Amino acid sequence: MRTATDGPGDLGGSVKQAEQETCLHRMDETTQTRRLCTAGGFGAILLWSTTVAFARSLSEPLGPMTAAAAVYSVSGLAAVIPLLRSSRARRQILHMPVRYLVGCGALFVGYMLLLFLAIGWAENRQQVLEVGLLNYLWPALTILFSLLLLNQKASRILFPGTLLALAGVFLVVTQGGRVSWQSLSQNVAGNPAAYSLALAASLSWALYSNLTNRWAGGRSDGAVALFLPITAVIMLVSSCFLNEPRNWSGRVAAEVLFLGMATYAAYAMWDSAMRRGNVVLVAAVSYLTPFLSTVVSCLYLAVVPGAGLWVGCGLLILGSFLSWQSVAGASARKTVVPGGR
């Protein structure tokens, strides 16, 4: 309150000080929000790292399609509830380009289906590790596709980065045997369906990542909240026509609940990290996902991998990271940030 002894200068100084304090408070809130969203991005990476292990653990008693249907029923329900409660979110989805909703929606559903089938059809848990890492070829493929689909520019390290990623996959698939094209073909020939599905999954997600940016890059939110329940419906219907074991238990139900909620939470936290967090830092850390996924799978599935798999995993991570670094400029790298598992 102004008193009789206050002069015009004193009042002006008080107002200026109050404005500065308000500005600093807002800056602190923005910094805190940025840190929380960045931490959420790290949390999404950790949750996605559990996908391969839990998908295999569920596919064994339920069958891959039933397992996928159960998991995405949980995540789809978690996604659709806030969507139904928010008219703003529904309006945003309705105003999205049709080619994004149809094209990227099909790629999203296809990726989830291909990944679960690849993991479920692996002959044993050792092969699950190989299939899981083959799926993680998508970050390097995302960079390659961005040159064609997003007109990105890349430096000379793209070529060695891509070669390292491919060499890593080569070692993973031939691990335990002699490193040669013959060894590669023989290993793949033992279960071509699982390896082919994993490769198709990596191609699908690389295309999804680029086309999402191309067709809906200017949007603040995507349509994952719509894609998840659609995935659930398609997989539920498909599972009705398959003869799978469907051996339910308390542990199976708990795993379904965990992976379903983890899937929804990971996408929600990743979305916040991409919009309000440190995008470049989170993207860089995301390239550790193949390693984290392998560690979680080894521990949860009780698998002891060979040295070749760890070397291949390291080469895949290094090659993918170099490919990402090859994209010219940090601002350009934001358009090819990985966004999946």
pTM to 2 decimal places:
0.87
Share of the chain above pLDDT 70, in %: 83
pLDDT band at 284 (very low <50, low <70, confident <90, very high): confident
pLDDT at 314: 95
Task: Give 186's pLDDT tier (boundaries 50, 70, 90).
Answer: confident
29 within a domain of the structure (yes/no): no
Q: Which residue has the tokens 């760890």?
A: 310
Residue found by looking up tokens 């698998």 in the block = 303
Residues in the chain: 341
Looking at the domain assignment, is residue 256 inside a domain?
A: yes
Closest Cα to residue 166, out of 120, 199, 200, 189?
199
Amino acid at 314: G
- At 113-149, the pLDDT tens digits run 999 999 999 999 999 999 999 999 998 998 899 999 9
pLDDT, mean of residues 279-300 = 91
140 within some domain: yes
The reply to whether 328 falls in a domain is: yes
What value does the mean pLDDT take over residues 242-261? 98
Whether residue 208 is contained in a domain is answered as yes
User: How far is Cα 236 from Cα 54, in angstroms, rounded to an integer?
Assistant: 19
Which amino acid appears at position 216 of this protein?
Answer: A
Q: Domain count for the chain, please give it.
A: 1
> pLDDT at position 187, please?
78
Q: What confidence score (pLDDT) does residue 283 get?
A: 83
Note whether 273 and 44 are within 8 A (CB): yes
Q: What is the mean pLDDT of the chain?
A: 87
Which range, 26-30, 240-244, 282-286, is most confident?
Answer: 240-244
Q: What is the pLDDT of residue 19?
A: 62
| Structural domain that includes position 282 | 48-336
In-domain check, residue 7: no
Residue 27 lies in a domain: no
The dihedral through the CA atoms of 73, 41, 268, 323 has a sign that is negative
| 267 pLDDT more than 80 | yes
CA 312, CA 295: separation in Å to the nearest integer?
A: 14
- pLDDT tens digits, one per residue of 192-223: 999 999 999 999 999 998 898 889 866 657 79
Going by C-alpha positions, the residue among 287, 278, 270 that lies closest to residue 225 is: 270
The structure tokens listed for 236 are: 């539920």
Is 90 exceeded by the pLDDT of residue 236? yes
Residue 62 lies in a domain: yes
Q: Which residues are bridge partners to 154 per DSSP? A: 327
Is the Cα dihedral 78, 81, 82, 87 positive or negative? positive
Q: What is the pLDDT of residue 171?
A: 87
